[in-house]
């Protein structure tokens, strides 16, 4: 009996130890799949549970916005232009039927299409076979001259679709569907599944495991990239173009040992976590010195650390060809004519940069400013003066600072690009009033930092050491709506094709949209030999950037 109690006690202690270890290492290595991949895997994408992702997505603020009756009414016309059937719709329906778990795609080569992938299914095997048959039939119709063959390997039956363009080999092993771009790659994958292949797997790679420790355990999907092959290609390409770097220098891509990224459904919000394993680029710690100057109506505030002494060496380098060659050459010539050297440039500026946009409710455009810390004010004044004067900007002095204003074209009277250099900052803005506020270091009063919304949102991410970004998404959308809605309605009257695709009069009222939006925040710090970034909001900073680029 005592031995039995001792065994129970040991088991309890082991369970508690495992629990606390799991708590300390928030991201569990996806070993089940990583054990099936070779150690030299260059790209790995993992989706743990598609069905859970679907349920979590439907609880997000973004999905609730999509389900708003006014939004659905507005989307009727655009959706009517979409095909009734399509590959994406079919894949969405099939994924629901298959109840996919542990879906993955991977490759160990960017030179050719050596993709492998698969997933676990939680449905009847006959249903899987029917869906698989449907997939292969579609593939045969889309590939002219494609042929369908089969082969046996060990205890597995392989289906093969091949054409001059590509090939696909697939099989069902237990409750797993596995596929590869070549038969040999599928055989190697099956050897790992069956335990015949004992060569090192990705799960045992130290760089991969270190990256996975930075990923959240409950991610909806995760990407792991080993950029070594891409970096080697870049080095070769630069050498071929006569732009090879000295032996003691590396491109940014060469410095990155690995990059991993994961997305989490965090209640109504979405959270992104990224980690780039690489040496530290700058020792400066972010101070956010301009945050206290941000007014209450700030819709965007961003501050980050950049190694100014390295990032802008190009201003003293020979300029090549391209659309930016002429203006870059003009900057280089202006600095050289003023007797300024690379050392002057490096000494002039600090490493902290900030971007701020304030947008009051009655303004048509935001007041945006860009700032750089002035490390050596005298040299900063010379550098900015040389560049501005060569471009015909007008100089003036006030507030113990030197101002340069762009020549007015008369097209946009609300925009008056202005640059100012003070003892502390170099400020670039769209209007002189915004620049003045930064130069005089005028307290924002009841500013952004006094906002409870800002303070609560900032706590959703770790304290930043390298980068911090805050976007007041509800206010930003409301301001954009007030500015762009009349333009959209007018455009529909003069552009018939636009009114055929959407009805501007059915555009939901801004409060209908804004109530589902929350501020977006992001931070980045250097931890565990890499840069770890985190962003959370209705959408994340990365997703917002992609959406803005697509628009």
Q: What is the pLDDT of residues 444-470, one digit of tens each?
A: 567 899 999 999 999 999 999 999 999
Query: Chain-centre distance of CA 292, in angstroms?
Result: 27
- Same domain for 430 and 522: yes
SS3 for 414?
Answer: coil
Percent of the chain at pLDDT > 90 equals 57
Can you give the pLDDT at residue 90?
81
Can you give the pLDDT at residue 315?
54
Nearest to residue 522, comparing CAs of 539, 499, 502, 504?
539
pLDDT band at residue 139 using 50, 70 and 90 as cut-offs = confident
The yes-or-no verdict on residue 300 having pLDDT over 70 is: yes
The yes-or-no verdict on residue 5 having pLDDT over 60 is: no
Bridge partners of residue 115, in order along the sequence: 107
Whether the Cβ atoms of residue 440 and residue 292 lie closer than 8 Å to each other: no
Cite the beta strand spans of 278-379 per DSSP E: 298-305, 349-358, 367-374
Whether the Cβ atoms of residue 193 and residue 153 lie closer than 8 Å to each other: no
The yes-or-no verdict on residue 215 having pLDDT over 90 is: yes
> How is residue 533 written in tokens?
């970034």
Instruction: Report in angstroms the alpha-carbon separations of 276 from 38, 250, 297, 533, 534.
Output: 21, 16, 34, 9, 12
Distance CA 334, CA 324 (A): 16
Is residue 205 included in any domain, yes or no? yes
> How is residue 209 written in tokens?
């495991």
Range with the poorest average pLDDT among 148-162, 373-387, 411-425, 533-547: 411-425
Can you give the pLDDT at residue 10?
35
Can you give the pLDDT at residue 178?
96
pLDDT band at residue 507 using 50, 70 and 90 as cut-offs = very high
Residue 210 makes CB contacts below 8 A (sequence gap 6+) with: 258, 277, 528, 529, 530
Among candidate residues 173, 197, 223, the one where a domain is terminated: 223
Can you give the pLDDT at residue 45?
97
Whether the Cβ atoms of residue 420 and residue 437 lie closer than 8 Å to each other: no
Whether the Cβ atoms of residue 201 and residue 33 lie closer than 8 Å to each other: no
Nearest to residue 373, comparing CAs of 445, 313, 284?
284
> How is residue 4 written in tokens?
């039995």
Is residue 323 included in any domain, yes or no? yes
SS3 for 380?
Answer: helix
Can you give the pLDDT at residue 371?
96
Percent of the chain at pLDDT > 70 equals 88
Can you give the pLDDT at residue 145?
83
pLDDT band at residue 26 using 50, 70 and 90 as cut-offs = very low
- Same domain for 192 and 318: no
- Same domain for 163 and 90: yes
- Same domain for 299 and 217: no
Range with the poorest average pLDDT among 111-120, 209-218, 224-233, 241-250: 241-250
Is residue 247 included in any domain, yes or no? no
Among candidate residues 182, 206, 223, the one where a domain is terminated: 223
Rounded to 5 degrees, what angle do the CA atoms 185, 190, 193 make? 135
Across 341-360, average pLDDT: 90
Can you give the pLDDT at residue 244?
75
- Same domain for 294 and 151: no
Provide the 10 A C-beta neighbour count for residue 275.
26
- Same domain for 448 and 302: yes
Can you give the pLDDT at residue 15?
36
Is residue 123 included in any domain, yes or no? yes
Across 482-491, average pLDDT: 88
Is residue 3 included in any domain, yes or no? no
Instruction: Report in angstroms the alpha-carbon separations of 404 from 374, 377, 389, 393, 499.
Output: 16, 16, 8, 6, 44
- Same domain for 428 and 291: yes
DSSP H or E run through 344 = helix 342-348
- Same domain for 296 and 160: no
Is residue 332 included in any domain, yes or no? yes
Distance CA 432, CA 416 (A): 7
Across 518-538, average pLDDT: 97
- Same domain for 463 and 357: yes
Distance CA 94, CA 86 (A): 12
Distance CA 409, CA 500 (A): 36
The yes-or-no verdict on residue 411 having pLDDT over 80 is: no
| Of 178 and 323, the one with more pLDDT | 178
Residue whose structure tokens are 């994340």: 540
Can you give the pLDDT at residue 524?
98
Is residue 44 included in any domain, yes or no? yes
Whether the Cβ atoms of residue 37 and residue 185 lie closer than 8 Å to each other: no
- Same domain for 320 and 214: no
Provide the 10 A C-beta neighbour count for residue 222.
23
- Same domain for 521 and 393: yes
Among candidate residues 170, 195, 223, the one where a domain is terminated: 223
Nearest to residue 188, comparing CAs of 111, 260, 110, 118?
118
Residue 534 makes CB contacts below 8 A (sequence gap 6+) with: 271, 272, 273, 274, 461, 462, 522, 523, 524
Nearest to residue 430, comparing CAs of 366, 484, 361?
366
Range with the poorest average pLDDT among 93-97, 275-279, 331-335, 390-394: 331-335
The yes-or-no verdict on residue 392 having pLDDT over 90 is: no
Burial label for 230, CB within 10 Å (0-12, 13-18, 19+), is middle
pLDDT band at residue 426 using 50, 70 and 90 as cut-offs = very high
> How is residue 354 written in tokens?
């900030």
Whether the Cβ atoms of residue 70 and residue 93 lie closer than 8 Å to each other: no
Can you give the pLDDT at residue 390?
80
Distance CA 470, CA 454 (A): 8
Mean pLDDT in the chain?
A: 86
Can you give the pLDDT at residue 333?
80
- Same domain for 208 and 105: yes
457: domain range?
284-550
The yes-or-no verdict on residue 263 having pLDDT over 90 is: yes
Across 196-211, average pLDDT: 93
- For the four alpha carbons of 550, 479, 457 and 525, in that order, the dihedral sign comes to positive
Distance CA 166, CA 179 (A): 13
Whether the Cβ atoms of residue 295 and residue 457 lie closer than 8 Å to each other: no
- Structurally, how many domains does the chain consist of? 2
The yes-or-no verdict on residue 6 having pLDDT over 60 is: no
Is residue 300 included in any domain, yes or no? yes
- For the four alpha carbons of 383, 389, 390 and 394, in that order, the dihedral sign comes to positive
């Amino acid at each position: 009996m005592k031995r039995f109690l001792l065994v129970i006690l040991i088991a309890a202690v082991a369970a508690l130890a495992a629990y606390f270890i799991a708590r300390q290492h928030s991201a569990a290595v996806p070993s089940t799949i990583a054990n099936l991949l070779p150690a030299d895997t260059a790209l790995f994408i993992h989706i743990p549970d598609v069905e859970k992702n679907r349920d979590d997505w439907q609880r997000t603020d973004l999905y609730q916005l999509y389900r708003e009756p006014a939004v659905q009414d507005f989307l009727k016309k655009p959706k009517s232009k979409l095909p009734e059937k399509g590959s994406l719709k079919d894949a969405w329906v099939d994924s629901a039927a298959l109840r996919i778990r542990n879906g993955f795609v991977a490759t160990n080569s960017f030179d050719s299409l050596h993709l492998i992938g698969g997933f676990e299914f939680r449905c009847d095997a006959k249903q899987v076979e029917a869906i698989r048959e449907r997939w292969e039939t579609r593939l045969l119709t889309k590939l002219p001259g494609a042929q369908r063959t089969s082969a046996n390997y060990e205890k597995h039956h392989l289906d093969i679709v091949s054409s001059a363009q590509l090939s696909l080999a697939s099989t069902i092993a237990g409750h797993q569907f596995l596929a590869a771009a070549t038969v040999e790659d599928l055989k190697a994958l099956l050897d790992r599944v069956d335990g015949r292949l004992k060569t090192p797997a990705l799960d045992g790679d130290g760089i991969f495991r270190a990256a996975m420790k930075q990923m959240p355990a409950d991610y909806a999907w995760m990407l792991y990239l080993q950029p070594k092959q891409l970096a080697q290609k870049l080095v070769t390409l630069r050498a071929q173009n006569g732009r090879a770097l000295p032996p003691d220098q590396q491109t940014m891509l060469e410095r990155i040992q690995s990059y991993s990224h994961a997305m989490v459904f965090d209640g109504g919000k979405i959270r992104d976590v990224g980690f780039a394993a690489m040496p530290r680029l700058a020792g400066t710690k972010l101070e956010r010195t301009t945050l206290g100057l941000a007014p209450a109506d700030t819709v965007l505030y961003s501050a980050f650390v950049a190694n100014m002494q390295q990032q802008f060496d190009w201003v003293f380098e020979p300029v090549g060809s391209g659309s930016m060659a002429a203006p870059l050459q003009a900057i280089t010539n202006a600095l050289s004519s003023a007797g300024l050297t690379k050392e002057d440039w490096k000494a002039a500026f600090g490493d902290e940069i900030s971007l701020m946009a304030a947008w009051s409710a009655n303004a048509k455009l935001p007041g945006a400013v860009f700032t750089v810390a002035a490390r050596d004010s005298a040299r900063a004044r010379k550098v900015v003066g040389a560049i501005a004067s060569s471009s015909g900007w007008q100089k003036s002095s006030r507030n113990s600072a030197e101002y340069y204003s762009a020549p007015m074209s008369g097209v946009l009277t609300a925009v008056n690009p202005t640059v100012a250099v003070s003892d502390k900052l170099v400020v670039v803005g769209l209007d002189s009033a915004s620049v003045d506020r930064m130069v005089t270091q005028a307290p924002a009063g009841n500013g952004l930092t006094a906002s409870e919304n800002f303070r609560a949102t900032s706590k959703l991410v770790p304290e930043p050491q390298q980068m911090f970004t805050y976007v007041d998404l509800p206010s930003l959308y409301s301001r954009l709506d007030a500015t762009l809605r009349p333009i959209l309605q007018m455009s529909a009257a003069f552009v018939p094709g636009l009114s055929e695709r959407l009805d501007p009069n059915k555009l939901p009222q801004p409060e209908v949209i804004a109530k589902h939006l929350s501020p977006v925040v992001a931070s980045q710090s250097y931890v565990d030999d890499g840069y770890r970034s985190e962003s959370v909001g209705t959408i994340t900073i990365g997703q917002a950037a992609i959406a803005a680029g697509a628009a």
